Amino acid sequence: MADTSKQMLEIREIEGRGRGVVANRSIKAGEVLLKESPILVYSAKPLKSDLCSNCFRKLNLSSSVLSCASCSSQTFFCSPSCQSTAMTSSHTPWACQALKAIGSLALDDSSDAHFLIAAYNMSLVSPSHFQILLSLEGSMPTDTLPDQRTISLHSLILSLSPPQSFAGFSFDLTAALLAKDKRNAFALMEPFQEDGERNVRAYAIYPNASFFNHDCLPNAARFDYLESDVSDHNTDIIIRAIHDFPQGREICLSYFPVNWNYADRQRRLVEDYGFTCDCDRCKVEVSWKEDGDDNDDNMEENEEEQMVGSEDEYSGAQGEADFPHAYFFVRYVCDRDNCGGTLAPLPPSEGSPSDVIECNVCGQLRTEDDVDGTEGEDGVMVDQ
Ligand SMILES: C[S@@+](CC[C@H](N)C(=O)[O-])C[C@H]1O[C@@H](n2cnc3c(N)ncnc32)[C@H](O)[C@@H]1O
């Protein structure tokens, strides 16, 4: 972790949540809390000829594109630097052969296989990063039988002639690695298009970003700039404060877009992250569920309002009575069509807060004046 992050953040045990990240001092809106590079990045889809296999930027097909000599039909690089980085890290001879074999199988979903190849390969080329991966949350469930998918994936890796030197290669290790991936991987998305579906391009695992717990009304947001051509660090994660908050406050991200409805949020958190959320927002929305027989409909109507309602709807007295956290949606959720991203100010400059806010999905920048509302304590208007 960079020194500035070390001064700002503390990783601490939090009752019922495992480790979490707590503010070591008061934090200002827009402050960069963490910026770090991934220990591992892998493709979400079958390797595609239009992406660089190292940095996952779109290839410029009109200029010269480099490829791997032994799997030249599927592994491409946008620059000599990406090529040489990959050849000594993610694209070793074993990984190359393994990816080639996977490519010929035309699997429905190759992302887990890509992850396992990347993880086992990392145990060879960077044992210290492999140890970090092993230290992250997530273990094989001991109370249930191994699932068929894990069995098939382990057999697949076994069939790829894993080197003898793989650290403790075993079924249990494969299962534990898959659990860690599920709980800690961040999706690196295709660029936002207003009228298009937005797919995952790659997944990345970060050593310290993995300690942020979830809240359905987060106080921090994660930004990435995958297509940026400014530096070699386009897969870095940047976590910024959405609003001011005091020292001692836990810093949380939302693990998915904040405009998801209650049922979808709980389903994802139980299935993928192994917990039921009882954050302030869920405490409110669970009671919507108890309202009557058509509870789900009521909830969806309320949620739909959150997603598509105008600022006036949210900030009106009725809206606040129905949904006390309405202010969060007015103030911190992007209202652009099909976006629903989270808004955070740009970092303060020389101690002065920025009045430009950025959406972490569509990237749109707007000024504070474009967004209505009066900020309460912590930037979130709560029950009055
Ligand atoms: C990315 S990790 C976060 C760091 C993790 N707490 C640790 O100890 O390493 C995700 C896991 O943290 C736990 N977690 C995250 N948010 C939580 C919350 N709001 N309540 C309970 N557990 C939570 C869950 O076990 C989840 O699978």
Task: Report pLDDT for 230.
Answer: 79
Q: What is the pLDDT of residues 123-152, one digit of tens each?
A: 999 999 999 999 999 987 777 778 899 999
Question: Measured in angstroms, how far is the CA atom of residue 323 from the centroid of ligand 1?
Answer: 26
The token pair that represents 207 in the structure block: 């050593």
The token pair that represents 113 in the structure block: 């296989």
Question: Measured in angstroms, how far is the CA atom of residue 11 from the centroid of ligand 1?
Answer: 12
Q: What residues contact residue 381 under an 8 Å CB cut-off, 6+ apart?
A: 320, 324, 325, 326, 327, 328, 373, 374, 375
**Rounded distance, CA 174 to CA 99, Å?**
17
Q: What residues contact residue 74 under an 8 Å CB cut-off, 6+ apart?
A: 47, 49, 99, 100, 103
Does residue 211 line the site of ligand 1, with CB under 6 A? yes
Does residue 183 line the site of ligand 1, with CB under 6 A? yes
Find where tokens 């890796």 sit.
157
**Rounded distance, CA 203 to CA 178, Å?**
13
**Rounded distance, CA 174 to CA 152, Å?**
11
**Rounded distance, CA 285 to CA 323, Å?**
8
Does residue 168 line the site of ligand 1, with CB under 6 A? no
What single string gives the DSSP state of each residue in 226-247?
Answer: TT--SSS-TT-EEEEESS-B-T
Q: Where are the domains of the chain?
A: 3-37+206-379, 40-187
Task: Report pLDDT for 236.
Answer: 97
Q: Which of 222, 272, 275, 279 to mutate to test the pocket of ligand 1 (most atoms within 8 A of CB)?
A: 275
Confidence category of residue 308, pLDDT binned at 50, 70, 90? very low
Question: Measured in angstroms, how far is the CA atom of residue 184 from the centroid of ligand 1?
Answer: 9
Which atom of ligand 1 is closest in space to residue 16's alpha carbon?
Answer: 21
CB-CB contact of 265 with 216 (8 Å) = yes
Q: What is the pLDDT of residues 85-135, one digit of tens each?
A: 999 999 999 999 999 999 888 787 899 999 999 999 999 999 999 999 999
Does residue 347 line the site of ligand 1, with CB under 6 A? no
Question: Measured in angstroms, how far is the CA atom of residue 214 from the centroid of ligand 1?
Answer: 7
3-state SS record for 72-101: CCCCEECCHHHHHHHHCCCCCHHHHHHHHH
Question: Measured in angstroms, how far is the CA atom of residue 316 from the centroid of ligand 1?
Answer: 35
For ligand 1, atom 10, name the residue with the nearest CA. Answer: 183
Does residue 277 line the site of ligand 1, with CB under 6 A? yes
Task: Report pLDDT for 256.
Answer: 96
Does residue 380 line the site of ligand 1, with CB under 6 A? no
Does residue 46 line the site of ligand 1, with CB under 6 A? no
Q: Is the pLDDT of residue 371 over 70?
A: no
More confident residue, 241 or 303: 241
Q: Taking each helix axis as running N to C, give the angle between helix 111-125 and helix 127-135, from 0 to 180 degrees, rounded to the nearest 10.
A: 130
The token pair that represents 306 in the structure block: 């959150």
**Rounded distance, CA 252 to CA 17, Å?**
11
Question: Measured in angstroms, how far is the CA atom of residue 182 from the centroid of ligand 1?
Answer: 12
Does residue 174 line the site of ligand 1, with CB under 6 A? no
Task: Return the minimum-mean-pLDDT range out of 195-204, 206-215, 320-329, 344-353.
Answer: 320-329
Question: Measured in angstroms, how far is the CA atom of residue 72 from the centroid of ligand 1?
Answer: 40
Q: What is the pLDDT of residues 3-23, one digit of tens each?
A: 888 889 999 999 999 999 999
SS3 for 123? helix
Does residue 255 line the site of ligand 1, with CB under 6 A? no
Query: Smallest Cα–Cα separation from 112: which of 200, 32, 207?
Result: 200
Other C-beta atoms closer than 10 Å to the C-beta of 162 total 18
**Residue 74 region by backbone torsions, left for phi larger than 0, else alpha for psi between -120 and 50, else beta:** alpha
Confidence category of residue 322, pLDDT binned at 50, 70, 90? low
CB-CB contact of 206 with 214 (8 Å) = no
Task: Report pLDDT for 165.
Answer: 78
**Rounded distance, CA 319 to CA 95, Å?**
54
For ligand 1, atom 13, name the residue with the nearest CA. Answer: 17
CATH: 3.40.1110.10, 1.10.10.10, 3.30.450.20, 2.170.270.10. Which one for 3-37+206-379?
2.170.270.10
For ligand 1, atom 9, name the residue with the nearest CA. Answer: 137
For ligand 1, atom 21, name the residue with the nearest CA. Answer: 17
Which atom of ligand 1 is closest in space to residue 136's alpha carbon?
Answer: 9
Question: Measured in angstroms, how far is the CA atom of residue 144 from the centroid of ligand 1?
Answer: 21
Helix or strand run (H / E) with residue 21:
strand 18-23
Q: Is the pLDDT of residue 64 over 90?
A: no
Does residue 18 line the site of ligand 1, with CB under 6 A? yes
CA dist list (Å): 189 to 186, 203, 204, 265: 9, 9, 11, 19
Question: Measured in angstroms, how far is the CA atom of residue 18 from the centroid of ligand 1?
Answer: 6
**Rounded distance, CA 41 to CA 185, Å?**
9
CA dist list (Å): 201 to 43, 45, 56, 187, 198: 6, 7, 8, 7, 9
For ligand 1, atom 19, name the residue with the nearest CA. Answer: 214
SS3 for 14? strand
Does residue 16 line the site of ligand 1, with CB under 6 A? yes
Task: Report pLDDT for 321.
Answer: 54
Task: Return the minimum-mean-pLDDT range out of 69-78, 195-204, 320-329, 345-354.
Answer: 320-329
